[in-house]
Structure 1
Amino acid sequence: MGRQLHLRTALPDDRDWIHELRHRVYAQELGQHAPDPAGRLSDGLDGDNVYLVAARGARRVGFVSVTPPWAGRFGLDKYLDRDELPSLREPDTFEVRILTVEPGERRSAAAPLLMYAALRWIASRGGRHVVAMGRTEVLDLYLAAGLRPVGRTVRCGAVTFEVLTGAVDALTRSVPDRHSATLERLRSTVDWRLDVPFAPGPDGCEHGGASFTAVGTDFRTLHRRRRIVAADVLDAWFPPAPEVSAALTDDPSWLARTSPPAGAEGLVAEIAATRGLPEETLCVGAGSSDLIYRAFGQLLSAESRVLLIDPGYGEYAHVTERVIGCRVDRLRLRRVDDWRIDPHRLTEAVATGRYDLVVVVNPNNPTGRHTPADELRAAIESAPDRTRWWIDEAYLGYVDDAASLAPLAATDPRVVVCTSLSKMYALSGLRAAYLVAAPDTAALLRRWTPPWPVSLPAQRAAVAALGEPEYYRERRLQTRALRHRLALELAELDEGVLVEEGVANFVNVTLPAGGPSAAQFVHECRRHDVYLRDLSPLSALYEGRTVRVAVKDAAENARIVAACQAALDVLVPPVPLPAEPVSGAAR
């Protein structure tokens, strides 16, 4: 009992033990099933379930199964009609079943650790809802995890189960609050071998930027940046225009010590002139995240209902659900539709009149798909007057700024367009962005904007960048060529790999079903100092298998391809060749 517990995803040779333990507990001990002469009890979902195993050294002590939504069926389907539990229809609902522990370990930390591990595994795959069947004799264990009964009891053989459910976000927040001492003890004593961090991030949101952690966030080891390929964030691969660099190096000590124009008046005037927009329709900020937090805090409340696109930029789910507490619905995109937004489905969803805000990222991050402006404009025009639209055009510079809905936002009080100056202008480190809204909305948001919202270096650089459209047009064309070549080379790595090329500065790579998880693949690539983005936490629609790869220059793209190949060589076992026929004489 004193040996350290370790936790891992089940290996192929764990299956016999799982079937044997299941038989001992559910057939012999509890009488749920008739005994089997072979002493084994399998499950109809064995081919779809993910099993997490707790062990002490080589001795296995317990397991829990998780059924993901992409399996297409749940254990509960045998007992409940999905109309009785509508969350079973959601593509981000996961089922936790068959938590089973060896008799001698039932007073140890194995059972609660397995429950916690199941929650972390589900969150890492974009799960938003959990359903479970908890045996009534151990119901307290499920209640302690934060799950709540739905009022349905099901019976299987001699065993009674309570049906329980919970929201992953709420469980992720409540478990550390209620069991902080236990979790801290487990963190220091358990050998955690899952492909998901033991604890969520401090704000519960999955941000990119692990590559900067490798460089060193204390800035003492910045030389490391030269060996790391930061393809996990969507910063530009190219430098800003020469005029921008000149502006930043012209008396940098003055730029550093001088307070900027309090309202960024010069920057606002340059944006207005460049984009052909009235100044009174503009509000600037230190990056689009600054504007999102500030604007949503004014435009929404906990009573607001919001429609998000799924998959979509994770910051919007974080702000609406976790920060403000809005009621959030999702319009699910489909791989079969090439992840494109169907304007008819969008129009039908919004026509109900229930939404206070609809958020559309266009081009979409992380799918890389762009919806034509006329299709979005038609959906907006047909929507109820009470519905406001937030259009995020952070990556529109990789398509065509002329496709912007900013002119509509300047006149239609229902529309706000947010645009980052970071991505296409290679200014991510300086943080500059603006939004366009009808004058009354823009004035409201300016009232809640502190003075000096954008630093002097950022204002100076952004003004210079806006004056160099030809330079950035050339970079856009170069990015397209680099992106296409990168997509082709990644697609050649393995026939089971799916590469999806969008319109922005990244491609998505989906690993073969039954192969390594995106998290394992990302981890293996980091051994080669190549950092990619695991998209799994953003949406369960990615099934834990999709990685986003930022486009870099030709040399770094070559390093990305080489690292991906090396990762696949390690993680995907080669398919054995058929044996050559052996002649009778050779036998």
Structure 2
Amino acid sequence: MNPDQLLSPPVNALPRLRSAVSGLPPYVPGRRGAGVDIAALASNESHYSPLPAAAAAVTDAARTMNRYPDMGAVDLRDRIARHLGVTPAEIAVGPGSVGVLQQIITGLCDAGDEVIFAWRSFEAYPILTELAGAKAVRVPLDAEEGHDLASMAAAVTERTRVILLCTPNNPTGVPIRHELIDAFLSRVPSNVLVVIDEAYIEYAEAGSGPDSLALYRKYPNVSILRTFSKAYGLAGLRVGYAVAAPDIADGLRRTAIPFSVSALAQRAAIVSLDAAEELEARVSGVKEERDRISTQLDAMGWELRPSQGNFIWIRADNELLATLTDAFTSAGILVRAYAGDGIRITVANPSSSDRVLRVLTRFAPGELRRSAE
């Protein structure tokens, strides 16, 4: 055979994606809208402008954006370590907590390994798991919209490598109590990494969820995952981090895409940690709005679980889901709908909250009953 013929491609052949990629569901971001009358409450982002110190740091860092950032994020890791009372060797950073989570799954899972998480929870969990060739093990939420830790413990097999605990849970807002995670960890094999995903920790009331640092110090197979995208208002810069045992953290840094956290993001994150009082004032404002909305909806007859995130969750079947989504869209309000499960509404400013309440007043359980009569 002529050697040149061996190099000839089949007619009309194109490169093929891996089957794991072809079958992936796309990540669905919160809808965006244009215009001053649109209330964009579909994405869990801060409605506040960046902290002034962070904005100034970005402006300053932009003057050298022709240079690569510090790949090791040494200054940022040092500042996070001092913030948490750990060592820089225990910190790994990445492009948002979801980027760090990809580093975790990539670093720990081979094809066929298992990652356990509650469902419904953060939509990126199954995507990142399946992209790595691992098996996503979904454990249904309990009747209180929280993690069913007993069922999650029972789901552990010899192929389990990672367990994800989202607290407060996205999208339901329900935290996991400290003593429950402690008891759960005592049942999990020490060679399984348990990731406590605390993307919304700043919005949680003290004592509502776990003392994750205490659990990390007690159980070496615990990792803590956090982000600057939510309360710190740096969603557009993409920077998050994990706390893990030094050997694990070193592995996470090795699996990171080189230079994935920009110099702008690193500087903004550092100064944001220095602006604790201003951050707390902003967080308090969100908590007050969240509690105001929840109290009024409770009075209307809506049965909501107390949320510890910067959002509220309304459980709804597909019929009610479609009705509410259409009503919100008509009112110029963008919300996040989850087919078959419910609606998540991000808490923003009081005027946006009032618009949400006006819509939900029309469809409150008491109003629907009266309309049926």
Candidates 358, 372, 375, aligned match of 2:177: 372
SS of 1:356 mapped into structure 2: strand
Candidates 227, 230, 233, aligned match of 2:40: 230
Query: Does residue 142 of structure 2 align to residue 339 of structure 1?
Result: no
Query: Does residue 160 of structure 2 align to residue 355 of structure 1?
Result: yes
**For 1:550 and 1:476, how far apart are their aligned partners in 2?**
13
Task: Spell out the pairing of 1:479-518 with structure 2 (5 A cutoff).
Answer: 479-491=286-298, 495=301, 497-511=302-316, 516-518=319-321
**For 1:331 and 1:294, how far apart are their aligned partners in 2?**
23
Letter in 2 for 1:234: N
What's the CA shift for 1:412?
A: 4.7
Name the counterpart of 2:255.
448
Candidates 78, 98, 122, aligned match of 1:269: 78
Task: Spell out the pairing of 1:124-139 with structure 2 (5 A cutoff).
Answer: none
**For 1:526 and 1:568, how far apart are their aligned partners in 2?**
17
Deviation string, structure 1 residues 430-460 (Cα, Å, up to 9, x no partner): 1110011111111112122233221122111
**For 1:465 and 1:552, how far apart are their aligned partners in 2?**
20
Name the counterpart of 2:52.
242
Normalising to structure 2: TM-score of the pair? Answer: 0.83
**For 1:204 and 1:414, how far apart are their aligned partners in 2?**
30
Return closer, same or farther for 1:255/1:548 CA change in 2, 3 Å cut-off.
farther
Name the counterpart of 2:350.
554
Higher strand residue share: 1
What's the CA shift for 1:506?
A: 0.8
What's the CA shift for 1:425?
A: 1.0
Return closer, same or farther for 1:374/1:389 CA change in 2, 3 Å cut-off.
same
Task: Spell out the pairing of 1:270-349 with structure 2 (5 A cutoff).
Answer: 270-321=79-130, 323-335=131-143, 338-349=144-155
Gaps of 5+ in 1: 1-169, 175-202, 216-223, 537-543, 578-587
**For 1:287 and 1:574, how far apart are their aligned partners in 2?**
46
**For 2:298 and 2:56, how far apart are their aligned partners in 1?**
40
Structure having greater relative contact order (Cα 8 Å, sep ≥ 6): 2
**For 2:239 and 2:163, how far apart are their aligned partners in 1?**
24
Equivalenced residue count is 351
**For 2:344 and 2:142, how far apart are their aligned partners in 1?**
17
**Cα pair 1:307 1:359 within 8 Å, conserved:** yes
**Cα pair 1:205 1:314 within 8 Å, conserved:** no
**Cα pair 2:118 2:148 within 8 Å, conserved:** no
Return closer, same or farther for 1:228/1:408 CA change in 2, 3 Å cut-off.
same
SS of 2:139 mapped into structure 1: strand
Deviation string, structure 1 residues 137-196 (Cα, Å, up to 9, x no partner): xxxxxxxxxxxxxxxxxxxxxxxxxxxxxxxxx9x967xxxxxxxxxxxxxxxxxxxxxx
SS of 2:235 mapped into structure 1: coil
**Cα pair 1:353 1:386 within 8 Å, conserved:** no
Return closer, same or farther for 1:253/1:240 CA change in 2, 3 Å cut-off.
closer
Letter in 1 for 2:225: C
Letter in 1 for 2:267: R
Percent identical across equivalent pairs?
Answer: 26
**Cα pair 1:308 1:358 within 8 Å, conserved:** yes
Query: Does residue 201 of structure 2 align to residue 399 of structure 1?
Result: no
Deviation string, structure 1 residues 523-582 (Cα, Å, up to 9, x no partner): 33122221111122xxxxxxx25111111111111122234456789x9696265xxxxx
**For 2:312 and 2:355, how far apart are their aligned partners in 1?**
15
What's the CA shift for 1:242?
A: 3.0
Deviation string, structure 1 residues 327-357 (Cα, Å, up to 9, x no partner): 333322222xx2233544444444x655222
Name the counterpart of 2:243.
436
What's the CA shift for 1:281?
A: 1.0
Return closer, same or farther for 1:525/1:421 CA change in 2, 3 Å cut-off.
same
Name the counterpart of 2:12.
none
Return closer, same or farther for 1:520/1:260 CA change in 2, 3 Å cut-off.
same
What's the CA shift for 1:501?
A: 2.8
Letter in 1 for 2:350: A
Query: Does residue 279 of structure 2 align to residue 472 of structure 1?
Result: yes
Query: Does residue 199 of structure 2 align to residue 389 of structure 1?
Result: no
Return closer, same or farther for 1:331/1:450 CA change in 2, 3 Å cut-off.
closer
Return closer, same or farther for 1:300/1:568 CA change in 2, 3 Å cut-off.
same
Return closer, same or farther for 1:563/1:258 CA change in 2, 3 Å cut-off.
farther
Backbone CA RMSD of aligned residues = 3.0
SS of 2:304 mapped into structure 1: strand
**For 2:38 and 2:61, how far apart are their aligned partners in 1?**
27
Gaps of 5+ in 2: 1-18
Candidates 526, 529, 536, aligned match of 2:332: 529
Letter in 2 for 1:247: A
Letter in 1 for 2:139: L
Answer with 1 or 2: which has the greater Rg: 1
SS of 1:382 mapped into structure 2: coil
Name the counterpart of 2:229.
422
Letter in 2 for 1:236: S
**Cα pair 2:116 2:152 within 8 Å, conserved:** no
Name the counterpart of 1:133.
none
**Cα pair 1:410 1:436 within 8 Å, conserved:** no
Return closer, same or farther for 1:348/1:499 CA change in 2, 3 Å cut-off.
same
Name the counterpart of 1:142.
none
Name the counterpart of 2:7.
none
SS of 1:294 mapped into structure 2: helix
Task: Spell out the pairing of 1:13-92 with structure 2 (5 A cutoff).
Answer: none
